Chain A
Amino acid sequence: MAYEALDFYDIDSLLTDEERMVRDMVRDWVDEKILPNIEKACRDGVFPDEWRVDLGEMGILGAPLKGYGCPGLSYIAYGLICQELERGDSGVRSFASVQGSLAMYPIWDFGSEEQKNHYLPKMTTGEWIGCFGLTEPDYGSNPGDMITRAEDKGDHYLLNGAKMWITNGTIADLAVVWAKLDGVIRGFIVEKNDPGFTAPEMTGKHSLKASVTSELVFQDCKIPKDRMLPHVKGLKGPFSCLNNARFGISWGAVGAAQSCFNSAREYALSRIQFDHPIASFQLVQNKLAWMLREITKAQLLAYHLGKKKDEGTWIPEHISLAKMNNVDIALEIARMARDIHGANGILDEYPVMRHMANLESVKTYEGTHDIHNLILGRHITGIQAFTRES
């Protein structure tokens, strides 16, 4: 059966032809390449290299960036790409988010002309994979206190420290690493063969199993002087990247929720208990109606935020609200869909348990759910509540 995306308020009619064509291209690719293979990739714990090649060939990596061979699409188109990829699997969307928003974007916005010309054309085609090293074992929600340090050694920088939970780390050709130089956070480009740099893979995940997650270890890691991003200092650097990735997640979560809704609806219509399809029982209909309502609200949030991104009238708090809300409802929808599927809901024959487990990571990364509440709380009251000192 052809995939029919839930679009109760006809968001489709608000899109440009170009946005629709990009969406359909990714949608078809997900049907053809991701859905038939995702369970095996999860079981094997790999991100198949073929997917990297295809994403590059479709030309969607770094979607909203302009110049240097990058696609130059609208933010709405970028959102739609994330939505379709995450309808397949959050791990696939994570790959694209990290590559585009977390690795290409800082080079594009804060890099030197030479860095942009050197890295971006090969990253948008997927030839080079990037990763983003901010989180450390002891500093997650408060990256400002990070330990990783860079020292100026005259003709090179020396990096020491460790990053953890880094998506794409082990398969990356380059890492954008945030480290303190004389107490100030700066961005550095570390290449995979730089001496003193290793990226061992983390294992044992119950979530995002088709996405590679790694540690980045720097032991007297020597990098040339021209690898520091010249145009940004402080937390603004990593936070600008996160704004873009979080924007993509607010759309991606809609895709995961649409997938769970469709599966639940179909299952409820075909599953007979007490002589009737379970879809005919009011309690089940209530669940489906709730899903439809929350997905529709999430779509409108994502669409309007996309418009604001394209117009340049957004503030980071707008993104916090959409990321937090949309992941929250997607996770709740995944759990509800699992419930509607009964025992079958735990099987890999249906996508719901996989989405549910994935969304637990999505709820935590890119600013945990509650960190976004705190960002909004500060916006509302003018009082920061992240820490006791002010």
Chain B
Amino acid sequence: MGIAVLLKQVPDTTAKISVSGGRVDESAVSKWSMSPYDEYALESALQLKESGGGDLVAITCGPARAVKMLTDAAAVGADSLIHILVEDLSALDSTQVQAILAAAVAHSGSDIVFCGKQAADTNAGSTGPGVAHLMDASCVTMVSEVTPDGGSLMAMRASPNGNERVSVSAPCVFAFDKGIIELRRPNVRGIMMAKKKVAETLGPADLGVDISTSSVSIVGHTPPPQKPPGQKFEGADSVAAVVSKLRDEANVI
């Protein structure tokens, strides 16, 4: 069996996002990072690989800068890297991205797929189920942990009644939530090994995926409305005013 992890490079959650000309200004993003949910998917995939699973391939679809994130994945233990080069990811619709990723998974020969439950930039949440559909695979969402279970895999996921354990066998897709597992840090040895792992770069056409017509066109981005400034109260005299505001305006007491 082979394990694939699908990773997306997104603006770091602490980076400032600015909109210019109706579009997010990507050149102004100070830091690009692996989407946080994907980090958990990667960590869990690494743990599965270490407990005897097969080779781990890290796959991303994105512009040239995204290869850095693949190298980061190699530094913590991914065995091989596939980069599907698409300069403007936002011009694709979700089904196109799913088609590309599913084709890349097939290309890598993997039958167990890890990904985040949603990407921290678009928050669409459709990639995991969409890829599973195209692979004709089982899909478990909101996963926090995956462990080997005989010939199958046991996934822990959040449910309304507490944690739920689901056993599935390959082919399968696990879409990860932030979990209880601790993320590993890279080390110098891993970084030096990563130098030797060169990403295989492919275009959508190399995988037989047609991206000429997208069902989505983005009309424009707008920044979220500015939060009104906070209110400050000083001294014991203001207690009554604060209490009435909390009760009548904020409706919290």
Contacts and interface: CB of A to CB of B under 8 A. Distances in A.
Interface of A: 1-2, 4, 17-18, 21-22, 25, 28-29, 54, 57-60, 63, 71-73
Contact of B191 (A21, A29, A54, A57): A21
A25 B185 contact: yes
B75 A21 contact: yes
B2 to A, nearest CB: 26
Contact of B14 (A2, A17, A58, A72): A2
Nearest to A29: B185
Contacts of A54: 185
A1 B14 contact: yes
Contact residues on B (Cβ < 8 Å of other chain), bracket: 10 to 19
Given A17-B71, A18-B195, A21-B75, A2 B186 contact: no
A25 B30 contact: no
B242 interface: no
Nearest to A63: B188
Contacts of B194: 21
Contacts of B75: 21
A17 B199 CA distance: 14
A76 to B, nearest CB: 14
A2 B17 CA distance: 12
Nearest to B72: A21
Contact of A60 (B68, B72, B188, B195): B188
Nearest to A58: B187
Contact of A59 (B15, B68, B72, B189): B189
Identify which of A18, A21, A28, A57 gathers the most chain B CB atoms within 10 Å of its CB: A21
Nearest to A20: B68
A25 B15 contact: no
Interface in B9-31: 12, 14-16, 30-31
B16 A1 contact: yes
B187 A59 contact: yes
24 contacts: A1-B14, A1-B16, A2-B12, A2-B14, A2-B15, A2-B30, A2-B31, A4-B31, A18-B191, A21-B71, A21-B75, A21-B186, A21-B191, A22-B191, A25-B188, A54-B185, A58-B185, A58-B186, A58-B187, A59-B187, A59-B188, A59-B189, A60-B188, A71-B188
B192 interface: yes
